[in-house]
Chains A and B, each alone.
Chain A
Amino acid sequence: MPHIAMNQSNTKNGQIAPSDLERIYRSLRLIRRAEEEIARIYPSDKIKSPVHLSIGQESVAVGICDVLEPDDVVSPTYRGHAAYLAKGAPLRGLFAELYGKATGVAGGKGGSMHLIDMRHNVAGASAVVGTTIPIAVGFALAFKRTRSHRIAVAFFGDGATEEGVFTESLNFAALHKLPILFVCENNYYAIHTPITRRWATQRLCERVETYGIPTRCIEDGDVLKLREEAAAAVARLRRGEGPSFIECRTYRWLEHVGPNEDFDAGYREQQEREPWLQSDQLISIGALIASDRRSAIDQEVEHDIEDAIAFAETSPFPEPSALYINVFAGQ
């Protein structure tokens, strides 16, 4: 069983404005509820795509994306609903994509594992772990070349750090001082295999530091701490100081793929999840907001989700002729 270090201290940041807290809460709430609805609908077989849910891991995407500019690019993983929504990409396009409808963000051709929305600068996700890390570096290279203020953020899991392309990407980004923030969502498992059976040591940040990249590890999923670290890293990136790395320890509450819990499968213990349930960021941020405001946000979120589901349900499937569209650009 992996060792799960928990920092139980609560960040009470008196400086954060109520409007910031409400925005963060809304984002956490939207992702949680959207995915709960996906899990609810999934057994009906209306969703035509395998789903890797982020429930329990929302704070990583929310904390990081909250400090980005609209034209900064984020590169999500196949467990990417959270980053997609946290960056502001549309809920309707997400649900329609999961339903395989023509109105989905990728016209029903990408599904949950290949989300993209370049209008909101969400780069395309890949089902092959680690593959998008250098692609995010490529965006950063283009930003540097064009003297842009934009930055790129690469999200990836603990498993991706085992792929060769991860260290290749770190090295190149550091060598060229590229404006990229590497964000490792360490949820301790690659599918069902714990890091204790995959990593010779758990000193991930130390490994990354050997490339001259500053690192931080946030051990408890605290969204405000994450946000603070991200803000500091982003400021360095905009000053041209080169890449930064944040390891965000977190925990996946449901099964690797699909809508259910899987503690009966025997590869992990339910008690592992307990501290994460207790430090649920949705609850703790919600507690910092006036209850009438919180109810209003909750209602808005429910309305948006109902609207998105109705949109997906009533949208048409693509025409058969769409099969051959975009095999090549412009065709």
Chain B
Amino acid sequence: MSLPGNNQRLLTYVDAVREALAQEMKRDSRVFVFGLDVDDHKAIQGSTRGLIDEFGPERVFGTPLSEDAMTGVAIGAAMAGMRPVHVHIRMDFLLLCMNQLVNIAAKSSYMYDGQVKVPLVVRSMIGKSWGQGAQHSQGLHAMFMHVPGLKVVAPSNAFDAKGCLIHAIRDDNPVIFVEHRLLYFTDAYVPEESFEVPFGKARICTPGDDITIVGISNMLVESLRAHELLAEAGIHAEVIDPISLVPLDIETIARSAHRTGRLLVVDNAWTSCGASAEIVARVVERVRNGKPIQVQRMGYAPTTCPTTPVLEREFYPDPAKIAQTAYAMVRPGAPAWQPDAEAAELAYQKKFRGPF
């Protein structure tokens, strides 16, 4: 966990996103923010609050429910030299944008041989809890990782949220910016001034020798909770935040996994053809005559997300499930272990403040 430096203060994730937008809009008049409801009284859970007052309706505006065309408009504006930030209150809605994102945004730099670039940021939020259910909870980042030409970033804390969003806006490529609703009111020490968190650099959050745990988006926080539970059982997990998924800092993850001999990837998504599958595959492909690495993936249950809390609890990895899985990997053959129920419950009250 980091300590506050100069000009740093505790800031929530949502305010970090808002501050990044405001600072970039002030710096660069080409930046504009649009999407359904970015300018209403709820301001995308507060992440766009005040922007319309500061920058006016030409640069902050709501849209018709036309995600397909609005994505095309953003791409065209980006090709014409603007730097749009297109906001979606749920990631599920990106499925309405797939043609534009996959066929145009991802490919334009290449198929038009560098004659145009698409400096577009697509902000989208993954939902969880309060019965968000089948179509308000999906983490679809792997779909975008599949296609060359898109960058994908999933910051897990307020510090990275601000630094990554500023970096994304300044990037000349389309960036899928993955936020998680449960992270919005977590806080971290964040510099007041503008700064960038470059893509392609993973962060080792907790050093450890027994097992490497990679947590994506909100699952990074759940993995840190699992880390606490494992420590009580004498197991030291090295928890890594990849931060950006494209580009992916596989070096840092592979180095750690080779050292610990065990890799558990916990994704905020399904495992099939997912980011967890990709990370595991790339690490294992690097093993050359060395000692094999024990690997395991965790993610959404291979079913549709239900609304009732009883079933929803089964659907997601949680700190106890992650800790148990890691324990079984580190101590195969040992009697099954369960973290203390009270400790598992308390894990949820533990505050983690990034950038870890």
Contact in complex: B172, A329 (CB < 8 Å): yes
Contact in complex: B114, A135 (CB < 8 Å): no
Contact in complex: A143, B99 (CB < 8 Å): no
**Nearest A residue (CB) for B81:** A142
Task: Tell me if A240 is interfacial: C-beta within 8 Å of chain B.
Answer: no
A135 vs B71: C-alpha distance when bound (angstroms): 8
Tell me which residues across on chain B come within 8 A of A109, comparing CB atoms. 110-113
Chain B 163-196 per-residue mask, 1 if CB under 8 angstroms from chain A, else 0: 0000000001100000000000000000000000
Interface size class, chain B: 35 or more
Contact in complex: A329, B117 (CB < 8 Å): yes
Within 8 A of B (CB), among A254-308: none
Contact in complex: B115, A172 (CB < 8 Å): no
Task: Tell me if A37 is interfacial: C-beta within 8 Å of chain B.
Answer: no
Contact in complex: A142, B111 (CB < 8 Å): no
Task: Tell me if A16 is interfacial: C-beta within 8 Å of chain B.
Answer: no
Which of the candidate stretches A18-26, A56-64, A111-119 sits at the interface with the other chain? A111-119
Partner of B100, one of A107, A124, A134: A134
Task: Tell me if B277 is interfacial: C-beta within 8 Å of chain A.
Answer: no
Tell me which residues across on chain B come within 8 A of A171, comparing CB atoms. 64, 66
Tell me which residues across on chain B come within 8 A of A142, comparing CB atoms. 76-77, 80-82
Q: Provided the pairs A131-B100, A134-B68 are in contact, do residues A110 and B76 lie with their beta carbons within 8 angstroms? A: no
A117 vs B112: C-alpha distance when bound (angstroms): 8
Contact in complex: B115, A117 (CB < 8 Å): yes
Contact in complex: A168, B149 (CB < 8 Å): no
A126 vs B77: C-alpha distance when bound (angstroms): 17
Chain B 96-107 per-residue mask, 1 if CB under 8 angstroms from chain A, else 0: 000110011000
Within 8 A of B (CB), among A151-193: 152, 164-165, 168-169, 171-172, 175
Q: Provided the pairs A118-B116, A172-B66, A328-B173 are in contact, do residues A135 and B104 lie with their beta carbons within 8 angstroms? A: yes
Task: Tell me if A17 is interfacial: C-beta within 8 Å of chain B.
Answer: no
Partner of B76, one of A106, A114, A117, A137: A137
Distance from A116 Cβ to chain B, minimum over Cβ atoms (Å): 4
Within 8 A of B (CB), among A298-331: 325-330
**Nearest A residue (CB) for B34:** A141
A146 vs B32: C-alpha distance when bound (angstroms): 12
Contact in complex: A139, B68 (CB < 8 Å): no
Partner of A138, one of B64, B77, B109, B173: B77
A116 vs B151: C-alpha distance when bound (angstroms): 24
Contact in complex: B79, A139 (CB < 8 Å): yes
Distance from A330 Cβ to chain B, minimum over Cβ atoms (Å): 6
Task: Tell me if A145 is interfacial: C-beta within 8 Å of chain B.
Answer: yes
Task: Tell me if B72 is interfacial: C-beta within 8 Å of chain A.
Answer: yes
Contact in complex: B148, A134 (CB < 8 Å): no
A175 vs B34: C-alpha distance when bound (angstroms): 15
Contact in complex: A138, B73 (CB < 8 Å): yes
Partner of B70, one of A110, A134, A140, A327: A134
Task: Tell me if A123 is interfacial: C-beta within 8 Å of chain B.
Answer: yes
Task: Tell me if B78 is interfacial: C-beta within 8 Å of chain A.
Answer: yes
Task: Tell me if A136 is interfacial: C-beta within 8 Å of chain B.
Answer: yes
A143 vs B63: C-alpha distance when bound (angstroms): 18
A131 vs B104: C-alpha distance when bound (angstroms): 8
Distance from A123 Cβ to chain B, minimum over Cβ atoms (Å): 7
**Nearest A residue (CB) for B68:** A165
Tell me which residues across on chain B come within 8 A of A172, comparing CB atoms. 63-64, 66, 69-70, 73
Task: Tell me if A128 is interfacial: C-beta within 8 Å of chain B.
Answer: yes
Task: Tell me if B108 is interfacial: C-beta within 8 Å of chain A.
Answer: yes
Contact in complex: B68, A137 (CB < 8 Å): no
Task: Tell me if A65 is interfacial: C-beta within 8 Å of chain B.
Answer: no
Tell me which residues across on chain A come within 8 A of B119, comparing CB atoms. 329
Q: Provided the pairs A123-B79, A135-B79, A143-B80 are in contact, do residues A169 and B72 lie with their beta carbons within 8 angstroms? A: yes
Distance from B38 Cβ to chain A, minimum over Cβ atoms (Å): 15
Q: Provided the pairs A134-B100, A137-B72, A139-B76 are in contact, do residues A330 and B115 lie with their beta carbons within 8 angstroms? A: no
Q: Provided the pairs A168-B66, A175-B64 are in contact, do residues A145 and B58 lie with their beta carbons within 8 angstroms? A: yes
Task: Tell me if A133 is interfacial: C-beta within 8 Å of chain B.
Answer: yes
Task: Tell me if B74 is interfacial: C-beta within 8 Å of chain A.
Answer: yes
Tell me which residues across on chain B come within 8 A of A107, comparing CB atoms. 113
**Nearest B residue (CB) for A111:** B111
Task: Tell me if B75 is interfacial: C-beta within 8 Å of chain A.
Answer: yes
Between A109, A145, A146, the greatest number of chain B beta carbons within 10 A of the residue's beta carbon is seen for A145
Tell me which residues across on chain A come within 8 A of B173, comparing CB atoms. 328-329
Q: Provided the pairs A106-B115, A133-B72, A326-B113 are in contact, do residues A124 and B108 lie with their beta carbons within 8 angstroms? A: yes
**Nearest B residue (CB) for A104:** B113
Partner of A135, one of B76, B82, B109: B76
Tell me which residues across on chain B come within 8 A of A126, comparing CB atoms. 103-104
Q: Provided the pairs A126-B104, A137-B73 are in contact, do residues A168 and B68 lie with their beta carbons within 8 angstroms? A: yes
Contact in complex: A145, B115 (CB < 8 Å): no
Contact in complex: A124, B69 (CB < 8 Å): no
**Nearest B residue (CB) for A154:** B76
A175 vs B62: C-alpha distance when bound (angstroms): 12
Between A105, A132, A139, the greatest number of chain B beta carbons within 10 A of the residue's beta carbon is seen for A139
Tell me which residues across on chain A come within 8 A of B113, comparing CB atoms. 105-107, 109-110, 116, 326
A sample of 16 more A-B contacts (CB under 8 A), given A110-B112, A128-B103, A328-B151, is A109-B110, A118-B112, A118-B116, A124-B112, A126-B103, A128-B99, A131-B103, A134-B71, A137-B73, A138-B72, A138-B76, A140-B76, A165-B66, A165-B68, A328-B109, A329-B173
Could you give 11 example pairs across A and B, Cβ below 8 Å? A106-B111, A106-B115, A124-B111, A126-B104, A135-B79, A137-B73, A139-B80, A165-B68, A168-B64, A169-B66, A327-B149
B residues with a Cβ closer than 8 A to A are 32, 58, 63-64, 66, 68-82, 99-100, 103-104, 108-119, 148-149, 151, 172-173
